[in-house]
Structure 1
Amino acid sequence: MSLYTRLEQRLEAQSDDAGPVRGTYSTGRLLMIWLAANLVVTTLLTGTLFIPDVPYGLVLLLIVVGTVAGAAVLVAVGTIGRRTGLPTMALTRGPFGTRGSLLPVAANVLILMGWSWVQAMLAGIALDYIVASVTGFSSPVIFAVLCQTIVVILAIFGHAGVARVEPWFAAVILAIAAYIFVVAFTSFSPAEFAAIPATAEPFYSPGLVFDVVLATAISWTVLSADFNRFAGSTRASIIGSGVGYTLSTVISMSLGATAMGYVILSGGEAIPFDPVTIIDPFGWVFGLAIFLSVMATNTMVVYGMVTTVVNAVPGTRIKFLPTAIVLGVISIIGATFFGLLTQFTTFLVTIGALFAPIFAIMIVDYYLIKRSSYEADILQPKGGRYWYTGGVNWLAIAAWAVGAVLAYVWAYVWPLPFGSTAPAFLVTFVLYLLVSLPTRRKEPFTPVGNLADAPVTVRPAGV
């Protein structure tokens, strides 16, 4: 047996996580997982985008409000994962159908790929700063490729170990965050931060700040059920993910806004979404922490992307290793597209346009239409209650299309003062509820708890 074959068999055994699981994680452990997941440089740098366009105090308020609103969606979807034992993309079979779910699955892979590119670039910039300060050699593109290559290797061989040590990286980031807050507010008073003058032609408005913060939560919701299905109770799922995500996001984004304010008050050049802008005043240790945190989080992003493809269709096994290699090569090549960093806001708005309607549909379908339970038919590759019409629920597809188009229109054609993500979510929520209510009234239903305990009943297609 060749080395490749032995490795493939080992990885196939480790990656079989699409089926339902019965969780055991405590509230504290799940809280630490979510705290670690979002204490990452992308969230921190998002906070740098808002200063000085919007007043510092208002930015902090919008970060809190937007995070709490987004956390409500994240918790709702994550709790479905806890109750069923299924990851997020597997749950999309419930409202969209066995085949229809492939559309949100494809969108999820594209979004995760984009995140992997952005994080690799930021890790490369941080590593480039460290190396250049010691040797004088500088090439962010080379270091981004190197970082993403390491990430792909870790995703294939060491994702479990990275998941275990990621909370320690979170502890390091928290310590550095405390240090930066202390330095910032011992150097300048809160009143001085509040008095930072706005730019003459600001790009960000308060509404856009709220929209970006909300879209950040939506972007993390794609992994909410993946994490929360391991919770030992619904209480652990709700409190652990809600508190963990809210704390990590508020701390990270507020840290970015504060660091940018410190740079401006110190007379430095305020370059938004640039790691060097905030690394330079605080030293190479901050750069190293950013590099490590990105590497840890990006490893789990790449691993999640691969497992999403591998487990896209129930009953069909796509090989893990060749999938990881193909997607890994694409992610390494994409890490050289540094122009994406200048389009980060557009990237987040796109996530909101694609996934806010999806999560609205998932929440309506599970909690209101399917009465807070899915049947074991959701595990079937064909037939059963979630086969709908040829494997597709066209009502869900149509509602998603309407929500996504409205999100685009409200973002770019007729911009709304409070952003597009929340309105698109609400419109899709109401629309899918209205068109699906007749189905709820006439459909017989047998509630099932965690699907790990439920037998799979095979029915002919169309039943």
Structure 2
Amino acid sequence: MAFLDRLLGQDTLDEHPHKSLGAFGTLALWLGANVVVTTILTGMLLVPDLTFSTAMSTVLIGSLIGAVPLLLVGLMGQRTGLPSMALTRRAYGPTGSRLISLVNMGVLIAWSWIQALLAGMSLDYAIEATTGYSNLPLMTILCESVVVLIVLRGHLGIERVERWAALAMVGLAAVVLYQLNSHYDMTALFDMPVESHNGITLGIAFDIVIATSFSWISSSADYNRNCKSGAIAVWGTYVGYVLAAMIAMGLGAAVSGISVMNGMEQTYDPTRLLSGFGFGLPAALVIFFSVMTTNVMAVYSATLSCMNVAPGMTFWKPALVIGVVTVFGALIPGILDQFQNFLLIIGALFIPAFSVMIVDYYLVGRDGYRAELVKAPHQLGRPTAPVAVGAYLIGAALAAYWSLVAPLSFGASLPVFVITGGLYWLGAILFTRPRHVAGVIGE
């Protein structure tokens, strides 16, 4: 047991005594996390349904806006030393926090399914190109097994891996852009006509970009609680995320546009797209590592969510179980075809959940956001916890309706964020005595 204690991560929901993330580490963490094949795939969805310039403008504006809640939650983690799901206990109360944690765990596991399959596809392509042997299910299982081994080491192991991943991903983008420019006229992308391929409108595109940023909100405090200062947590996250979104989605949009212009099939497998440009094997290997590092973060955060549902669990036990679940889920037939809908579902589930939490911390009051949220959550839940749960359910219903049933031309993300936060803020005023509200605001 002593050997296992040294080998495995001992991460808990409590504040870590030593802050391990500096400015470069934080920037690299979020850069490596988001310069990944799924973000490239998001960029592919935008072109040629939108012009290349419109797509890139949407990515920039959407990322600048969408990253703000991401860094706000991350700053909460840095200030308190607590992970995201433990922080939900204050606004939602213990029961509501478990509900949010279960939703978060389910979404992260589904996210990991997609990541594991994409990693398996890349590894399978690389091995087939060199040996002629192909076995996608086996490669997917091998990839997810490596993910579980990394997660079992805890956050310190993940931070070290992400630094190298960030450098590799920036190098990948530079080499691929060089290859594209060597074989094709990149300037033709700006004159490419609009052509409907994926049913993407400007509003849906904006929503997808926002949803991509929101997909990381539930994990931001899990990692930024280890930042050495609040400024590092804010600027490292903001610059790293926005830069990563521009690189990855821009690369995806460029590859998609060029493939369509040259009569190639627009595929969801970026490795095979890149192979058409003479860069298949190296891309397969680097994409494999990029997906693996992102998947590691998803499984780690899902583990912390599970620990918030069932406090007292040893870290490695839920990590191992969740890892096994993600292996089998990745083998579900046709799961990658639902990627676009999955992004919209993420927005529906995450946007209202963290809108409430951000309003609670930054507007209602920071009192109670301390280590006792983990040790004595029943004493620290707000009396407005039912209002928080109700605001979340209304927000989630509106997000699902406006995204999947009757899409808004300008997207559902921002309206849902504002409406959900406004409902909770109004409820906090109505159900809390005025003098108490005034007191916590002044803190």
Asked whether the two chains share a fold, i.e. TM above 0.5, the reply is: yes
1:177 paired with 2:173, answer yes
Query: Shift of residue 326 of structure 1?
Result: 2.0
CA gap 1:151/1:425 in 2 versus in 1, 3 angstroms: same
Of 421, 446, 452, which residue of structure 1 is paired with 2:413? 421
Query: Shift of residue 236 of structure 1?
Result: 1.3
CA contact (8 A) 1:120 1:147 kept: yes
The 5 Å alignment of 1:142-161 reads 142-157=138-153, 160-161=156-157
1:82 paired with 2:78, answer yes
CA RMSD after TM alignment:
2.5
Structure 2 length-normalised TM: 0.92
CA contact (8 A) 1:373 1:448 kept: no
The 5 Å alignment of 1:183-198 reads 183-198=179-194
1:432 paired with 2:434, answer no
- For 2:373, the equivalent position in structure 1 comes to 378
1:393 paired with 2:385, answer yes
Query: Shift of residue 143 of structure 1?
Result: 1.4
Query: Shift of residue 197 of structure 1?
Result: 3.2
- For 2:304, the equivalent position in structure 1 comes to 307
CA gap 1:393/1:8 in 2 versus in 1, 3 angstroms: farther
Of 419, 425, 434, which residue of structure 2 is paired with 1:441? 434
The 5 Å alignment of 1:189-268 reads 189-200=185-196, 202-268=198-264
Query: Shift of residue 12 of structure 1?
Result: 7.2
Give me the whole-angstrom Cα distance separating, in 2, the residues matched to 1:153 and 1:262. 38
- For 1:326, the equivalent position in structure 2 comes to 321
CA gap 1:297/1:136 in 2 versus in 1, 3 angstroms: same
1:347 paired with 2:342, answer yes
Q: Which moved more, 1:147-156 or 1:396-405?
A: 147-156
Query: Shift of residue 8 of structure 1?
Result: 5.6
SS of the aligned residue for 2:380 comes to coil
Query: Shift of residue 335 of structure 1?
Result: 1.3
- For 2:283, the equivalent position in structure 1 comes to 286
Give me the whole-angstrom Cα distance separating, in 1, the residues matched to 2:167 and 2:71. 23
- For 2:400, the equivalent position in structure 1 comes to 408
CA contact (8 A) 1:373 1:447 kept: no
CA contact (8 A) 1:8 1:321 kept: no
Give me the whole-angstrom Cα distance separating, in 2, the residues matched to 1:107 and 1:91. 15
CA contact (8 A) 2:80 2:371 kept: no
1:73 paired with 2:66, answer no
SS of the aligned residue for 1:287 comes to helix
Give me the whole-angstrom Cα distance separating, in 2, the residues matched to 1:107 and 1:383. 21
Query: Shift of residue 22 of structure 1?
Result: 6.1
1:364 paired with 2:366, answer no
Q: Which runs of 5+ in 1 are unaligned?
A: 450-463
1:61 paired with 2:71, answer no
Give me the whole-angstrom Cα distance separating, in 1, the residues matched to 2:178 and 2:367. 46
CA gap 1:244/1:336 in 2 versus in 1, 3 angstroms: same
SS of the aligned residue for 1:276 comes to helix
Query: Shift of residue 323 of structure 1?
Result: 2.2
Percent identical among aligned pairs is 37
CA contact (8 A) 2:80 2:370 kept: no
CA contact (8 A) 1:98 1:378 kept: no
**Alpha-carbon deviations, 1:101-153, whole Å to 9, x = none?**
00111111111101111111001111111112122222322211221122222
Give the number of aligned pairs.
Answer: 440
Give me the whole-angstrom Cα distance separating, in 2, the residues matched to 1:173 and 1:11. 28
SS of the aligned residue for 1:318 comes to coil
CA contact (8 A) 2:203 2:409 kept: yes
Of 161, 167, 174, which residue of structure 1 is paired with 2:163? 167
Q: Which runs of 5+ in 2 are unaligned?
A: none
Structure 1 length-normalised TM: 0.88
CA gap 1:321/1:24 in 2 versus in 1, 3 angstroms: closer
CA contact (8 A) 2:271 2:280 kept: no
**Alpha-carbon deviations, 1:147-186, whole Å to 9, x = none?**
1122222322476434303221221221121122233234
CA gap 1:80/1:132 in 2 versus in 1, 3 angstroms: same
Q: Which moved more, 1:440-449 or 1:209-218?
A: 440-449
CA contact (8 A) 1:127 1:291 kept: yes
Of 8, 13, 36, which residue of structure 2 is paired with 1:40? 36
SS of the aligned residue for 1:383 comes to helix
The 5 Å alignment of 1:103-142 reads 103-142=99-138
Task: Name whichever structure is richer in helix by fraction.
Answer: 2
**Alpha-carbon deviations, 1:189-211, whole Å to 9, x = none?**
45411232333565111111110
Q: Which moved more, 1:27-36 or 1:342-351?
A: 27-36
